[in-house]
Amino acid sequence: MTWPMYGYAFAKLALAHGEAKPAWLKHLREDTKVFTKQAIKWLKNQD
């Protein structure tokens, strides 16, 4: 998958865990981390 795809999928995983700011984000490479944070924000805006 591409990094933005990983970001979106990780965002879905974070929200499935009820975590808007998951601690495990720190382990992701920087670009994937940014895409994940943006996707979490986007998904939360869809609620």
Interface with another protein by CB under 8 A: which residues? 1-10, 12-13, 16-18, 22, 24, 27-29, 32, 35, 38-39, 41-42, 44-45
The least distance separating another protein from the CB of residue 37, rounded to whole angstroms, comes to 9
Query: Which residue in 41, 38, 47 sits closest to 5, CA to CA?
Result: 38
The least distance separating another protein from the CB of residue 40, rounded to whole angstroms, comes to 8
φ, ψ for residue 18 (rounded to 5)?
Answer: 70, 30
The least distance separating another protein from the CB of residue 11, rounded to whole angstroms, comes to 9
Query: Which residue in 30, 45, 23, 19 sits closest to 6, CA to CA?
Result: 30
